[in-house]
Amino acid sequence: MKQVIFSALLLAATTTAFTQSKFSKDEFSINGFRNPSIGLEYLHKQVSVHAGYYTTAFKSGEYTNFVKAGTTYWFAPVGKKENPSSFYAGASYMRGLTRDYKNKNAVAVEAGFSWMIWKGLNFRIGAIAVAAKGQDVKINPTPGISYSFNF
């Protein structure tokens, strides 16, 4: 996982000079499913911050819930739309609400791709690694759907 994160950050660093003009200056998103959380996100150029409710199944049929806040770096945009599809890598703080994570602090790193389907509607697919004291690191897929508004 460390190699994947390092590779994503290296790619981001080498593409920054070529991609900044393709991202919207300011964007606000309402996130309706897991990625990055069920909540709100604000993007300025290539960096976003988000906060919301996050649920995931570390075991089949058993959902673990968190409050989640973090930041995401966007890079390598695809296409020439006002809101381009692109890759992302991020880090978050999470506070457990249920199961083995109840009242525990956790950190998460994630990476993936956001596909702009139509205007502001986008679908994300990625993977997250969650680490907390006393727990094994868990890796899960992170699908998501959001709608973004430029201003």
**The pLDDT value given to residue 69:** 98
**First-to-last C-alpha distance (Å) of the chain:** 36
Domains of the chain, by residue range, sit at: 2-18+30-150
**The pLDDT value given to residue 4:** 53
Cα–Cα distance for residue pair 114/139, rounded to 1 Å: 19
Neighbours of 32 (CB within 10 A): 11
- Which residue pairs from 40-43 have beta carbons closer than 8 angstroms and sit at least 24 positions apart in sequence? 41/72, 41/146, 43/74, 43/148
**The pLDDT value given to residue 81:** 74
Neighbours of 71 (CB within 10 A): 14
**The pLDDT value given to residue 114:** 95
Burial group, residue 17, by CB count within 10 angstroms (0-12, 13-18, 19+): exposed
**The pLDDT value given to residue 20:** 43
Cα–Cα distance for residue pair 133/143, rounded to 1 Å: 25
Q: Which residues of the chain have pLDDT under 70?
A: 1-21
Burial 113-125 (b: 16+ CB within 10 A, else e): ebebeeebebbbe
Global confidence as pTM? 0.82
With CA atoms as reference, report the closest residue to 93 among 131, 56, 58, 65: 131
